[in-house]
Amino acid sequence: MPEWIIVLLRSLTLIAFLFFLTKWLGSKHLSQLNSFEYISGIVLGSVAAIHTVNPDTNFSYAFIAMVVWFIVPFGVEKIALKSKAFRDFTEGKGVVFIQDGKIMEDNLKKEGYSTDDLLEKLRNNNIFLASDVEFAVLEPNGSLSVLPKRESRPLTAKDLGIKLAPTKEPQTVVMDGNVLLEPLANLSLNTNWLETELDKMNVSIENVFLAQADSDGQLTVDLYDDMIAVPAPTEKPLLLATMKKCQADLELFALSTENPESKEMYQRNSKKLQSAIATISSYLN
């Protein structure tokens, strides 16, 4: 058999094997590599590369070596989950760089960070003055977690005493012109609702590149044709406007009638509706 075919077959086999090993190790290894996992990844890749390009090597040795380098990190991870001391040893632990607004110079030197390195890390967190930081810690994966001082933090709705409606993640219900049934079911919606909403926009499903619906049943659509403008969702503003109109109509009826019982009924229901509007207006605005 020609060597190039052997190299091709070995490459495909080891790629598939390495893929499954990586999947079994878990997604954590793809996003946050500590020093031990970094070494394991390099060795696994090197073993696969060596036994791929050298047809003279014993192919079974590649599997043995890769299995060993899979079992060891896998076992280390399981032990680390049960022992904090072992976890600190293998994964490392955070190092405080700024505490109570003061830079910890000794910790910077210990980790080999210069003042420029610290400032760069702060800029990556959108902070340009070290004096704006209350607390900062270097995480084991090399990222810097920063807590700004209270007066330097952005205002939130909670700071302003504003009550906001709870939100859930939106669901993608159409992708590349194809309806996705599971996301629709997650929102307790169906294809009839989707077709009705698209008909209101005078849009067919085949022309939809992406459509997303939120937990309030509002649909946002992006079309293949960027020249066609799609109206923004109006369900919540229309509901609020309708409620306000009904409340105003009740007040008008109360003023126009001479019957005391009818007047009292209109006024009572107007107050109830006004209370309901005040309660849900923050959800509908």
Q: Among candidates 237, 205, 235, which has minimal Cα distance to 223?
A: 205
Task: Count CB atoms within 10 A of the CB of residue 49.
Answer: 13
Laid out side by side, the sheet with 95-99 consists of 102-103, 95-99, 133-138, 144-148
Laid out side by side, the sheet with 178-179 consists of 178-179, 171-175, 208-213, 219-223
Token pair recorded at residue 41: 């990844």
Q: Give the residue numbers spanning the domain of 275.
A: 236-284
Residue 160 lies in a domain: no
Whether 182 and 229 share a structural domain? yes
Whether 262 and 210 share a structural domain? no
Q: Where does a domain end: 46, 63, 89?
A: 89
Q: Give the per-residue pLDDT at 67.
A: 78
Whether 215 and 251 share a structural domain? no
Q: Among candidates 213, 218, 207, 220, which has minimal Cα distance to 176?
A: 207
Residue 166 lies in a domain: no
Whether 177 and 102 share a structural domain? no
The H or E element containing residue 178 is strand 178-179
Which pTM does this prediction carry? 0.55
- Give the burial class of 250: count Cβ atoms within 10 A of its Cβ; 0-12 exposed, 13-18 middle, 19 or more buried: buried
Q: Give the per-residue pLDDT at 209.
A: 92
Token pair recorded at residue 23: 């999947």
Whether 178 and 223 share a structural domain? yes
Residue 11 lies in a domain: yes
Tell me, what DSSP letter sits at residue 111?
A: T
Give the type of residue at 275. S
Q: 170: phi > 0 → left, psi -120 to 50 → alpha, else beta; which? A: beta
Residue 209 lies in a domain: yes
Residue 240 lies in a domain: yes
Q: How many domains in the chain?
A: 4
Low-confidence residues of the chain, pLDDT below 50?
A: 27-31
Residue 214 lies in a domain: yes
Helix H segments across 54-114?
Answer: 59-82, 84-91, 105-110
Cβ atoms 183, 175 nearer than 8 A: no
Q: What is the CATH number of the domain that holds 186?
A: 3.30.240.20
Whether 189 and 136 share a structural domain? no
3-state secondary structure of 74: helix
Q: Give the per-residue pLDDT at 13.
A: 78
Q: Give the per-residue pLDDT at 60.
A: 80
In the numeric block, the tokens 């049960």 are attached to 82
Q: Give the per-residue pLDDT at 233.
A: 67
Cβ atoms 14, 62 nearer than 8 A: yes
Q: Give the per-residue pLDDT at 128.
A: 93
Summarised one tens digit per residue, pLDDT across range 192-238 is 989 888 888 888 888 899 999 988 778 889 988 877 777 666 677 77
Q: Give the per-residue pLDDT at 28.
A: 47
Whether 83 and 102 share a structural domain? no
